[in-house]
Amino acid sequence: MMKIKIALLSCLSIHFGSAFQAPFPQHGTKTTMRTPRTPTVLYYNDDNHSSNNNNDDDFDLSTLERRIGNLRLQILEEDLQRPPNASLGPKEFVTALLQGIFHNEDPRPDAGFMLLLRCSTEQWASKCLQSIGAPKDYDNLDTAASALGAAIGRPHNQYAILVGEGEEEDDYVLEDVNNSIPQDHTFYIDFPGETLDFLDGTAWVNVEFRDASSDDLLVLMGWQLCQRPDGAWLVDQIDWQDYREKYRPGIGRSEWMGTYEGRRR
C-alpha cells in the first residue's frame, strides 16, 4: 500500500496576515515580531485502495484538492494585505517590510526580497539591481530577489541580521512575545521617535534594532519613503549605522548598498 503525505509548511500559515494588521506604533513603542509559524498539513491516504473499490481514495483526493484550493485563495488574500498598501502608515509599512525580509521564505522562497523590490521606487530598485550586477531594467525579479537574499545572508555580513543570520552558528532571532526569557542574539525593533512627514509625499522613519537582553543598541536604520499617487508608501533609500563592536560601531553612516561591495561612506 502507498501512503502519501503532503505537508504545506509555515509559508501557508493562517497567522501570516496578522503581521500586517498590527496597531500603528506610537512614539518610543517597542515593536516585537513574532517568529512562530503553524504548519498546515494535508494527508492523502490510499491504504484502502484494494478493499474499498477506490471510494476512499476518491474522497481523500477531492478533499486534498479542495484544501489546496482554499490555501491558494488564502495566499492570494494575504498578498493583497501586503505592501505596497495605501492603508499602511509609514511605520506600519516599514514594520511589514522588515517582517517580510526576516521571514524571507514565507509564504514562498525569496518572498521577502521580492517584497522589497516591489515596494521600492525606481531609483532604489535600480540600486538594488545594480548591487548584484544586474542592469537597472532587469525584469526577472524572482532571480533578482534570490540574489539579494543570498548576498544579504552571507557569513560575516553586518546586514545578515535582517534575515536572522549571525556569525557562524550564532544566528539572530526576532524576539518572541510568547517567551518571557530572551534567547542569546534575540533582538527587537523600536521606533525611537515620530515619523517625519514632510507633507510633500515624502517621509523619514528611524528604526532601532536593540538586544532583547541588554537593551543595547545594535543598529540604527533610516528609511526615506516616497508616496505613490494612491497613497501607498515606497522605499526611496535606506541608511544604516551599525553599533555592534565587530562592525566599527558609531563611525559615520553606511549606505545600505555597501552590503555587497564593502564600502563605507
pLDDT, tens digit, 9 for 90 and up, residues 153-182: 888 888 999 998 765 444 555 554 334 333
Cell of 80: 493583497
In this prediction, residues 72-79 reach a mean pLDDT of: 71
Given a cut of 50, whether residue 192 has pLDDT beyond it is yes
- Domain segments of the chain: what residues? 3-261
- 65 — pLDDT class (breaks 50, 70, 90): confident
What contacts 255, CB < 8 A, 6 or more positions away?
Answer: 237, 238, 239, 240, 263, 265
- 185 — pLDDT class (breaks 50, 70, 90): low
The proportion of the chain whose per-residue pLDDT surpasses 70, expressed as a percent, equals 61
In the prediction, which pLDDT does 24 show? Answer: 33
In this prediction, residues 178-199 reach a mean pLDDT of: 74
In the prediction, which pLDDT does 156 show? Answer: 83
- 145 — pLDDT class (breaks 50, 70, 90): very high
In the prediction, which pLDDT does 165 show? Answer: 76
In the prediction, which pLDDT does 264 show? Answer: 32
107-141: per-residue pLDDT in tens? 889 999 999 999 999 999 999 999 999 998 898 98
To the question of pTM greater than 0.75 for the whole model, the response is no
In this prediction, residues 214-225 reach a mean pLDDT of: 94
Q: Look at 180 and 200; give whichever has higher pLDDT.
A: 200
